[in-house]
Chains A and B, each alone.
Chain A
Amino acid sequence: MRTSYALLAALVALALLPAIASGHAERATYFVDPAKGSRPEMRNTGPQRVVCKRDSRALIKQSWKGRGPVARRHRKRLTKLLRRCRYRHIQQAVDAARSGDRILIMPGLYKEEPSRKIPVKDPKCAGDEYWEPSGDNHTEDGRVPTYKHQVDCPNARNLIAVIGDSLLDDDRECDHKCNLQMQGMGRRARDVTIQGDRIKQDVIRADRADRFVLHNVLVEQGGYNNIDVVETNGFSLTKIVTRWAKNYGILTFTSDNGLYDTVETYGSGDSGVYPGSGPEGHCKRYGIEVTRVNSYGNTIGSSGTAGNGTWYHDNRFHDNAAGVALDSFAPGHPGMPQDCSKWTDNDIYSNNVNVFESDRDQYCNEVPFDKRRPEVVCPQFIAVVGAGFMWYGANQNIIQGNRIYDNWRSGMRLFWVPAQLRGEQDPSKQSDTSNGNRIIGNSFGIAPDGSPAPNGVDVTWDEQGLGNCWQENRTANGGPPTSDPASLPTCDSGGSHSPVSNPVKTAAEAPCVEWNPRTNPDPPGCSWFTTPPKPGS
């Protein structure tokens, strides 16, 4: 009988294992039901709650100076609005808000001092009911905070928390503070700066906060993420600047019906944007749209473990160590293996910034994040320096009409990730990546002015997968993309047909797992962390 209880306890523990989102320990999360939600639009109606700082008036005048009618009109409108200011901190307005409210944030620097005073290990949430096992011995003694923790101690780990689901029912759906709009009232996003304390995990967390809107703000210096949207059905993140997060500029997770639009993101230790555990549209719909993102100076421009069902278009991912990653690496991500995203009309170029060099390693090793110079990027995870697209375990994605150039190692890399490497032991699933990817009508190695800007190799592929194909891609000399292997299967031919890879190619990536900036920054057999020579130099 005792054995049965032990077995039962083990099974329960396994079932409760939380999602580990590329290293950020998250509670067990579940996909929202997309049919029950929708993407919110920016509203000009609805109750207002105005937040301001002492210097907001001066900042308005400075931002809208001049005697022209436009400047005068804005000054007048904002000055009038300022009279309605009742809050000095954004969280105060969130706490007072009801569903459908608009929080109007006047120009200023928001440090959220009352939230900062709340300890990360808030004694109010020390009880067992506030924690669930993380499945390992990391984080808080092998535990991660539950949703109840977010409800009862919202500012222990988040500077600003929008927590939508009531604990009175167990439907994991938004009950209050839904359809909340947080809007910077400055002329530019930078006029409203929300600054993290570099300790709390999230600067802004929207958790089960359906139809959440964030507009026209700069968010910086998050201890993990600047903006984190979790289990949220409907979100809109527009006209955002985000910089200098320890890991992610914007991270969304098991959320759907979402939009990233007009985002400038730079200086983060992992990725500028991360739509991970994306919508399970199974290639029938794209539940998250990412557009007009300018992502640079991060370790990776955009990444997404289980980054499913997302349409990226008209973005620029450039001057990162690597441009764009899609992967099926880590366990605990709902929606594995990755599938069904679409990339059209993006520019992926000049991703050759080496953040793995020894001087930087030394500084990053010696100085903890909260003491570092904010602008120094310390890489949190491995990335292929000099790669445009790095796809490791990606399925049924479409890359069409993109411009991929001046990435000194590879324009794109497509590699198999055996399922075992995400903790999946089922023998029938070992070849479930990377299959069915269609790379059509892109330009490789051509700068916007039409001049050659070669990638090291346009396509590096380990020759594995069913149905991967390349067709009608353009190059500067009019020939097919340069590639390893020398020829690539076309889509008309049905694409690739090998469930197994060239083993040496796949295995040649394996040593990079050993990377540890403290103990093993340059593992034998790993090419990723050396800046490739500029092609033709």
Chain B
Amino acid sequence: MRRPTVASLAALALAATAGACGNGADDGPKASWDGAPAVAPHPEIPTDHIATGRIRNDGAGELRLSVTEARALDVHGTPVRATIRFAAGVTHSLYPPRDAPHENPRRQQERLGDAATIEPGKSAPLTIAWHAGTADRVPVRVDLGPVEVPLPPAP
């Protein structure tokens, strides 16, 4: 009984710290593109665009990111349908999606690009793809949960 209580308290403390960081404190989570991302029309789908590069953890703590929390947002802050991956290329899941577990372990999520854990000063790949729509339906930033990064305009 004693150990879970201690663990729970620690988890609560961590969550509280993370929440505080997310509110814009100076030592809170920060990220930026590590070099300029490449932004271009999709090579095989003329109506889609791709942005790809690496995001760097500029904060003091570990960044734990998941695509389930990630959204591409237009200039009004409205989500735009997009694919967001913490990956530079393609792979596939261990199991056929129809037979897959409802939850993947974190290790598998990170392999597939569903999630990324980035230590301070380190970087991870980030790829975003979206259908090129009308001008105000184009994503201008990516909200990754605790951090966000801008999306340069497509050429």
Contact = CB atoms under 8 A, between A and B. Distances in A.
**Binding partners A and B:** yes
Interface of A: 20, 22-23, 25, 135-138, 247, 269-270, 329-332, 364-365, 378, 380-382, 392, 409, 415-418, 420-423, 484, 501, 503-518, 523-527
A516 B130 CA distance: 17
A330 B105 contact: no
Contacts of B64: none
Contact of A508 (B50, B103, B105): B50
B4 interface: no
Contacts of B82: 524-525
A524 B100 CA distance: 22
Given A508-B42, A525-B129, A527-B44, A514 B90 contact: no
A518 B131 contact: no
A484 B97 CA distance: 31
A415 B100 contact: no
A513 B113 contact: yes
Interface in B112-148: 112-113, 125, 127, 129-131
B7 to A, nearest CB: 14
B26 to A, nearest CB: 31
Interface in B49-107: 49-50, 52-53, 81-83, 85, 87-101, 103-105, 107
Contacts of A511: 83, 85, 127, 129
Contacts of B105: 135-137
Contacts of A392: 89-90
Given A421-B87, A421-B89, A503 B38 contact: yes
Given A23-B99, A510-B127, 10 more contacts: A136-B105, A330-B92, A392-B90, A421-B91, A423-B111, A484-B43, A505-B43, A509-B89, A509-B90, A525-B83
Contacts of B97: 515-518
B9 to A, nearest CB: 20
Given A331-B111, A504-B43, A524-B129, A381 B101 contact: no
Contacts of A332: 94
Q: Counting chain A CB atoms within 10 Å of each CB, which of B40, B43, B105, B112 scores highest?
A: B43
Given A23-B96, A381-B96, A526-B129, A513 B91 contact: yes
Contacts of A135: 105, 107
Contacts of A523: 83, 129
B42 A527 contact: yes
B48 A503 contact: no
29 contacts: A22-B92, A23-B96, A136-B104, A138-B94, A270-B96, A332-B94, A380-B96, A417-B89, A417-B91, A420-B111, A421-B91, A503-B88, A505-B43, A506-B88, A508-B44, A509-B89, A511-B85, A511-B127, A511-B129, A513-B87, A517-B98, A518-B97, A524-B48, A524-B130, A525-B42, A525-B50, A525-B82, A525-B129, A526-B129
A200 to B, nearest CB: 15
A270 B48 CA distance: 28
A507 B50 contact: yes
B101 A421 contact: no
Contacts of B96: 23, 247, 269-270, 380-381
Contacts of B131: 524
Given A136-B101, A329-B91, A508 B111 contact: no
Contact of B98 (A365, A484, A504): A365
B45 interface: yes
Nearest to B97: A516
B124 to A, nearest CB: 9
B17 interface: no
Nearest to A514: B83
Interface residues of B, number: 43
A525 B130 contact: yes
Q: Counting chain A CB atoms within 10 Å of each CB, which of B38, B91, B103 scores highest?
A: B91
7 tightest A-B CB contacts, nearest first: A525-B129, A507-B52, A509-B90, A421-B91, A511-B83, A380-B96, A527-B44
Contacts of B107: 135, 423
Contacts of A364: 98
A516 B112 CA distance: 14
Q: Counting chain A CB atoms within 10 Å of each CB, which of B49, B83, B89, B99 scores highest?
A: B89
Given A138-B101, A421-B113, A525-B45, A514 B85 contact: yes
Given A511-B127, A524-B131, A525-B42, A506 B89 contact: yes
B111 A421 contact: yes
Given A504-B40, A525-B42, A525-B130, A510 B111 contact: no
A330 B108 CA distance: 10
Contacts of A526: 83, 129
Contacts of A247: 96
A5 B108 CA distance: 25
B90 A417 contact: yes
Contacts of B125: 418, 420
A420 B98 CA distance: 25
Given A381-B92, A421-B89, A138 B100 contact: yes
Contacts of B89: 392, 415-418, 421, 501, 506-507, 509-510
Contacts of B50: 504, 507-508, 525
Contacts of B130: 524-525
A421 B38 CA distance: 20
B27 to A, nearest CB: 27
Contacts of A330: 91-92, 94
Given A513-B87, A515-B97, A382 B108 contact: no
Contacts of A422: 91, 111
B83 A421 contact: no
A382 B94 CA distance: 11
B14 to A, nearest CB: 20
Contacts of A136: 94, 101, 104-105, 108
Contact of A20 (B94, B98, B101): B94
A137 B103 contact: yes
Contacts of B99: 23, 380
A137 B106 CA distance: 11
A503 B50 CA distance: 10
A39 to B, nearest CB: 31
B88 to A, nearest CB: 6
